[in-house]
């Protein structure tokens, strides 16, 4: 039922007998209304479907024609519609007529009865009343439609707002997760940094002790002829050497060791370690390598990354007491690769995966795995420094390490190393160690705040024939130089109270730029020392007599002399 246009405003007239139909149509049209005469009930039903405001029907039309279809149309009206019928009846009121009219009233529902003959005013009044009722129905329909449209818009708005809230909630949840991950990573980094500072300080003090121990042991061995005492001293040297190895691992974790970073082909390095890995791991574990075909070169220290791979392989072997499979894999990891840990600086990396089929780790063990001295092995079977050294080397190289593990499902340790911008360099052969010392007479100034280290260094240098002046601080060294002391070489300790080795070196260079020097350190801040002194000027504690002699001869620019034959 349309609510606009002429169809919805017209009055349908059905009076098939006599002149009632044309007469009523003329009266309504004279009054300015739209009137349409229907020829039968079927045509009335069709026009009702097309749309109308009211219907004027003579009762005999329903007597002669079927009423059921009209009744069905009336029943099928929408909730807002109550179509008005004006029924023209006769003046007779016998029982059959009354019964039929009552049936019409019940069937057509909204019916007004007009007895014929009908005056024009009465007819118009009844039709106007029907039209007013119909207009109110149209208004009701418009109101209901508006409410329905408003409800639909509200539902759409609610759905849109709900979707926006859900999307905001998803973003908020993702941000919360990301923030929690960032906070956890920050807390972990702060904890590891604090542990690193602590272990670095311990390593510095321990290296000073070892320098004194190893130096005195070497000096003692040079003065003892008894084979029994020589064996005892040699055992003591081996024990001190193991202590030096521990401090090296501590320095690796604290990222205070000197690294010789260069562009390296990791595929060639892993392939070259095949025999070493087989001898170390044993025959109960099958070793597989999966090497990326076009692997990028990586920025690494060759000796340190070999230790990293070896440490990880040994850990994997220990996690497979009944044997298993150890896989070493290399791969390129681009800056946008989702596998790249979120806390590492964006960029291209080369990854080394060391994967075992062993017992795996619990989450508690995994989170503590990189901490120094943390180990799940039995007492005496491990120091707990292997993974901490791996962590330190990776971090100092500009990369990181990640562990994936599941209890009973094996472990994968991934080492991410920065991609090199230049092609990999060919591996250099290690130069043979100097076997004999040279006897020299140059003057050397030894500056070290540790009395034991200073004493053993002086004794060692004097045994090599050098003229040595010991001084306990940087300021005292500057005073001695100001008062005229001119050594051929200065041995400077890096960490000293009041004025450290770098500050002392800067003053020496400013006032006496021609004096040569070496920097001694057991706790090397590689960036600070290398930037100021140069990597080749650093003597790492603890050092042997051979290492000390070699470094001094190189620093003085001397050609090593053979020791006289006894």
Rounded Cα distance between 368 and 388, Å, is: 10
Is there a contact between 494 and 524 (Cβ–Cβ < 8 Å)? yes
In a domain, 145, yes or no: no
Same domain as 368, residue 315:
yes
Closest CA to 55 of 19, 86, 88: 86
Residue pLDDT, tens place only, 353-390: 999 998 888 888 887 777 765 666 554 455 555 677 78
Same domain as 270, residue 214:
no
In a domain, 138, yes or no: no
Same domain as 471, residue 453:
yes
In a domain, 1, yes or no: no
pLDDT score for 203: 62
Is there a contact between 501 and 522 (Cβ–Cβ < 8 Å)? no
184 vs 474: which has the higher pLDDT: 474
Predicted confidence (pLDDT) at residue 433 exceeds the cutoff of 70: no
Across all residues in the chain, what is the average pLDDT?
80
Read off the pLDDT of each residue in 473-496 and give the average, rounded to a whole number. Answer: 90
In a domain, 125, yes or no: no
The CATH number covering residue 473 comes to 3.40.50.2300
The CATH number covering residue 226 comes to 1.10.287
Strand 467-471 versus strand 443-447 pairing type? parallel
In a domain, 148, yes or no: no
Cis, bond preceding 542 (omega within 30 deg of 0)? yes
Number of domains in the chain: 4
Same domain as 319, residue 370:
yes
Residue 412 has which token pair? Answer: 């994968």
Rounded Cα distance between 2 and 81, Å, is: 12
Read off the pLDDT of each residue in 189-210 and give the average, rounded to a whole number. Answer: 63
Helical segments of 109-226, H only: 120-223
Same domain as 333, residue 205:
no
Same domain as 454, residue 400:
no
Same domain as 469, residue 386:
no
pLDDT score for 26: 92
**3-class SS at 203?**
helix
% of the chain beyond a pLDDT of 70? 79
Residue 357 has which token pair? Answer: 């089929």
According to DSSP, residue 425 is labeled: P
In a domain, 363, yes or no: yes
- Residue 333: phi and psi, rounded to 5, are -125, 105
Domain of residue 204, residue span: 172-253
pLDDT score for 496: 84
Same domain as 395, residue 283:
yes
In a domain, 304, yes or no: yes
> Taking the chain, what is the end-to-end CA distance rounded to the nearest angstrom?
129
pLDDT score for 30: 92
In a domain, 423, yes or no: no
The CATH number covering residue 300 comes to 3.30.565.10
Same domain as 370, residue 295:
yes
Same domain as 385, residue 271:
yes
Rounded Cα distance between 75 and 229, Å, is: 123
Same domain as 337, residue 189:
no
Which range has the top average pLDDT, 53-67, 122-136, 328-342, 419-433?
122-136
Domain boundary among 90, 118, 146: 118
Domain boundary among 118, 143, 164: 118
Q: How many CB atoms lie within 10 A of CB 517?
A: 19
H-run or E-run covering 56: strand 54-58
Domain boundary among 235, 253, 271: 253
According to DSSP, residue 419 is labeled: B
Q: Give the list of residues 6+ apart from residue 116 with CB closer than 8 angstroms, or none.
A: 20, 88, 89, 90, 91
Residue pLDDT, tens place only, 505-542: 999 989 998 989 998 887 655 566 777 777 778 888 77
Same domain as 215, residue 281:
no
Residue 131 has which token pair? Answer: 């039209």
565 confidence band (pLDDT: 50, 70, 90) = very low
Rounded Cα distance between 331 and 334, Å, is: 10
Read off the pLDDT of each residue in 33-40 and give the average, rounded to a whole number. Answer: 90
Q: Give the list of residues 6+ apart from residue 558 with CB closer than 8 angstroms, or none.
A: 438, 440, 442
């Amino acid at each position: 039922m349309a609510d606009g246009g002429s169809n919805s405003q017209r009055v349908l007239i059905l009076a098939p007998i006599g002149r009632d139909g044309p007469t009523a149509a003329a009266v309504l049209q004279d009054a300015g209304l739209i009137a349409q005469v229907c020829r039968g009930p079927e045509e009335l039903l069709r026009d009702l479907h097309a749309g109308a405001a009211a219907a004027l029907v003579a009762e005999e039309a329903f007597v002669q024609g079927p009423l059921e279809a009209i009744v069905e149309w009336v029943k099928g009206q929408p909730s807002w519609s109550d179509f008005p019928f004006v029924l023209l009846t006769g003046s007779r009121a016998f029982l059959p007529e009354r019964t039929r009219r009552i049936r019409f009233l019940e069937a057509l529902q909204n019916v007004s009865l007009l007895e014929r003959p009908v005056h024009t005013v009465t007819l118009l009044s009844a039709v106007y009343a029907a039209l007013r009722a119909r207009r109110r129905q149209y208004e009701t329909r418009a109101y209901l439609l508006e409410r329905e449209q408003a409800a639909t818009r509200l539902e759409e708005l609610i759905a849109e707002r709900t979707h926006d809230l859900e999307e905001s909630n998803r973003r908020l949840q993702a941000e919360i997760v990301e923030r929690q991950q960032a906070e956890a990573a920050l807390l972990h980094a702060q904890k590891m940094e604090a542990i690193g500072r602590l272990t670095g300080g311990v390593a510095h003090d321990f290296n000073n002790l070892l320098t004194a121990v190893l130096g005195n042991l070497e000096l003692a061995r040079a003065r003892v002829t008894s084979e029994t005492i020589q064996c005892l001293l040699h055992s003591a040297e081996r024990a001190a050497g193991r202590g030096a190895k521990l401090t090296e691992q501590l320095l690796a974790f604290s990222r205070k060791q000197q690294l010789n970073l260069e562009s390296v082909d990791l595929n060639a390095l892993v392939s070259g370690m095949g025999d070493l890995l087989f001898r170390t791991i044993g025959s109960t574990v099958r070793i597989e390598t999966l090497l990326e075909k076009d692997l990028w070169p990586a920025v690494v220290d060759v000796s340190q990354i070999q230790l990293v791979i070896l440490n990880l392989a040994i850990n994997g072997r220990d996690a497979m007491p009944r044997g298993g499979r150890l896989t070493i894999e290399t791969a390129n990891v681009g800056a946008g690769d989702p596998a790249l840990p979120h806390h590492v600086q964006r960029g291209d990396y080369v990854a080394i995966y060391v994967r075992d089929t062993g017992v795996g780790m619990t989450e508690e063990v995994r989170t503590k795995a990189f901490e120094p001295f943390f180990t799940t092995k039995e007492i005496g079977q491990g120091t707990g420094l292997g993974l901490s050294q791996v962590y330190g080397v990776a971090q100092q190289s500009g990369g990181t390490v990640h562990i994936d593990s599941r209890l009973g499902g094996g472990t994968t340790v991934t080492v991410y190393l920065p991609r090199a911008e230049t092609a990999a360099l060919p591996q250099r052969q290690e130069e043979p160690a100097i076997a004999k010392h040279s006897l020299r007479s140059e003057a050397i100034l030894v500056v070290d705040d540790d009395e034991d280290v200073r004493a053993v260094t002086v004794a060692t240098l004097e045994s090599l024939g050098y003229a040595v002046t010991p001084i306990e601080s940087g300021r005292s060294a500057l005073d001695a130089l100001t008062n005229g002391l001119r050594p051929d070489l200065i041995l400077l300790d890096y960490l000293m109270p009041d004025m450290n080795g770098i500050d002392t070196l800067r003053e020496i260079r400013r006032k006496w730029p021609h004096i040569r020097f070496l920097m001694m350190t057991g706790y090397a801040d590689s960036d600070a020392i290398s930037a100021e002194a140069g990597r080749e000027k650093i003597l790492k504690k603890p050092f042997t007599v051979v290492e000390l002699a070699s470094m001094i001869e190189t620093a003085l620019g001397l050609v090593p002399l053979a020791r006289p034959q006894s």
